[in-house]
Structure 1
Amino acid sequence: MDRIRSKGNVLVDLTRFAHIVFIQKSIHTIMGKKYQTILVPYDNSKYSKKALTEALEIARMFGSDLYLLTVVDALTVAPSRFYLKPGSGEGKKLDKYLKGAFSKIDLVLRDAVLKCKEKDVCADYEIVVGSPVNVILKFAKKKKVELVVMGSQGLTGFGRLRALGSVSRKVSELAECPVMIVR
């Protein structure tokens, strides 16, 4: 009886102790289905790098295309504007900061895509401002993604512009496709 647990507790245990947790929403297994499109929410953190490594292996195995998606949480950007004094020049400073941050994110993503192409995997990227869970789910649906591979923990690879919060659990619950959570 001690071994019987609710789905939620098992998921928590798995994500805490396992290297990779694969949440499958269909009867296919990872080896029984060819994934044409794979999404990797990416922010250059340790966990998103591990997720990209796993996604690259799967993509090479199946000849899949990869999408790297960085989501800049709108809540970390937008509220700042409410505290700016009109005509103070602070708005221009914020815009300059954001432009520089997005430029750095763009360089990191270009480098990641180049590494994918060096491994003969077709890859592309996008940077989107919004709610991380909503953006990831909408992007996956729009691009007809067949597998999401993402890190397991709160990701802060781009510092103050938090690209992904701790959203892997919500994405795994709400996604219409399988989700692989890499630890």
Structure 2
Amino acid sequence: MYQTILVPIDGSNTAESAAKEACRLASLCKARVRLLHVLDMTTMSNGFEEPDVYASTTRPLALKEAEELLTRIRAEMEKSGITVDTEIQEAMGAQIADVIVERAMTWKADIIVIGTHGRRGVRRFLMGSDAEQVARTSPVPVLLVRNEAGP
């Protein structure tokens, strides 16, 4: 069955639901989990800060928050006896979905478990969907998980 499960984590409720589902799947399959946080600094920078402020404050703070998020979810999974690795990747201008698929291929993941908001219609068109793009382009199976509380 599955030996390696990639779980992209962004701090959203849907990502938390995906992590819980991946934990259940990993327990059933005795699989290893890799939690991946893709850091998109373009969403964290206003473009007006001085380069030294970005380098000394903005980026380190974003990395610290990503580490704390991954550490928390890793600890929760390890309580269930799951072996968990964590990874932070900076998008560096790439689409987040492309980074996720590339990391899945590099890590040789058997499946990607990712949260989705389940948007439809105009909201989906305007906001896009990284999860949908991952599902469309991934060479490995993708399990889309909605927020446990509903859309």
TM above 0.5, one fold?
yes
* Distance (whole Å) between structure 2 residues aligned to residue 170 and residue 100 of structure 1: 28
* Distance (whole Å) between structure 2 residues aligned to residue 139 and residue 38 of structure 1: 11
Does 2:55 match 1:92?
no
Which residue matches 2:75? 114
Within-5 A mapping of 1:32-181 = 34-76=1-43, 80=47, 83=48, 90-95=50-55, 96-130=57-91, 131-153=95-117, 166-181=129-144
Residue by residue, what CA displacement relative to the aligned partner does 1:113-167 show, whole Å, maximum 9, x if unpaired? 111111100001111111211110110000110110101129xxxxxxxxxx721
Tell which structure's C-alpha radius of gyration is larger.
1
* Distance (whole Å) between structure 1 residues aligned to residue 44 and residue 89 of structure 2: 12
Gaps of 5+ in 1: 1-33, 85-89, 155-164
Moved over 4 A (4+): none
Question: TM-score by structure 1 length?
Answer: 0.67
Identical aligned pairs, as a percentage? Answer: 29
Aligned residues: 133
Gaps of 5+ in 2: 119-127, 147-151
* Distance (whole Å) between structure 2 residues aligned to residue 101 and residue 140 of structure 1: 23
